[in-house]
Amino acid sequence: MPLLDLPSAHFDNDALLEIPEVAIAELNGEEDLDKLSAIANNVLAQRDFIYTLSVMCSPGVEQYEDIIRLNHAIFADQSLSIVQGLREAGVPLTVDPDVALSFDGREDWRLIVRRMLDRDWLAHIASGYILRWVVSRWQQPETQPEASLTRAIDGIAEWCRRNRVVGGGKQNIKKHLWPRYKSVSHLWAAWYILEDVGVELLTPAGLSEFFATAYYLLHQASTIVPKRRRAGEALLSIDEAWQVPPAFAQRLLVRTEDGQEHDLGFTGAWIDDLNAHDIRNRIVGERGEADRGKAKKVKPPKRKGRPGRLTGVKTST
């Protein structure tokens, strides 16, 4: 059972104040604990986001080299920022010549991320929309007959054919794209859902909503056995999928006047409109790349249940 080893999971409250960006802010005279905590949380959210994205782009071992290069580039960028911050704070320091050379020759981690996103973009979006199609259709009895892997792949293949997207044939999707990214399909589905509803992932609140949505989708998919599947053969196996640590899938708990606590579900996002989960309603960029951030919907998206909340989630252990 692969589990996301999120960087922030290794920090307790005391360690937050030892993050270099926080220490530099203190050296520059910042004393407000709320502001220092906000700096720490933003830094950790970025680290969690980049780590998760690297897993989403390379769930297997074949692209492990990209993750190593990304880590080196991020480390060099962060080290340079720390050195610059210390100098601006008036802290005297000397930099080893080899370290200085590594700053000059460092790769831009943003370009590495962009390459990782663009290189296999069709597999990313296909895996996410396969999961979205099946989960959304399974939720209503009248549309459950449509909740099959075959129907989902048919829709993606039609979208690819209509938009002249290379590599979008049914057999390639079924035999190569889906198997390669199935273990992170719930993460890609959450990515595109939050993109549709306008949530910024590079914030602590946005990332929390992303993790809750992905957690919900995985546990939904793990209970769905599409038609023509053997009994117990779920769309997505919890044992094979990359899991969000339960502590990061935040739930909304409220306490009533009588002292009882009520669980209102995960603080994730969902769209009721079935058309939003059909990739054929999505625009494609001029270069054949997914035009991220632009989703064409027949109706405005609606959140399921309470605004920003997912309800009725059943999990299994």
Stretch 86-103: mean pLDDT, rounded?
A: 66
Question: What pLDDT does residue 254 have?
Answer: 66
Supply the pLDDT for residue 145: 92
Helices and strands counted in the chain (H then E): 12, 4
- Over residues 280-291, the pLDDT tens digits come to 999 875 334 444
CB atoms within 10 A of CB 276: 24
What are the pLDDT digits (tens) for 122-168? Answer: 999 999 999 999 999 999 899 999 999 999 999 999 999 999 999 99
Residue 171: the pLDDT is 97
Nearest 5°: the CA angle 299, 301, 307 is: 145
Q: What pLDDT band is residue 266 in, cutting at 50, 70 and 90?
A: low
pTM above 0.85, yes or no: no
pLDDT value for 53 = 92
- Which one, of 281, 280, 276, lies nearest residue 303 by Cα? 276
* Whole-angstrom distance, CA of residue 286 vs CA of residue 98: 43
Cα–Cα–Cα angle for 280, 285, 289, rounded to 5 degrees? 90
Tokens 């597999």 label which residue?
123
Q: Considering only CA atoms, which of 1, 20, 9 is closest in space to residue 211? A: 9
Tens of pLDDT, residues 9-63? 988 777 777 788 887 888 788 888 889 889 989 989 988 999 999 899 988 755 5
- pLDDT computed for residue 73 by the predictor: 73
51-81 tens-digit pLDDT: 999 899 988 755 567 767 777 777 676 666 7
pLDDT for the residue 299: 32
- Interval 80-101 mean pLDDT: 67
H or E, element range at 282: strand 282-284
Please write the tens of the pLDDT for every residue from 196-235: 999 999 899 999 999 999 999 999 999 999 877 776 789 9
Section 75-92 average pLDDT: 70
Is pLDDT at 294 greater than 50 in this prediction? no
> What pLDDT is attached to residue 302?
41
Beta bridge partners of 266: 251, 310
Q: What percentage of the chain carries pLDDT values higher than 90? A: 43
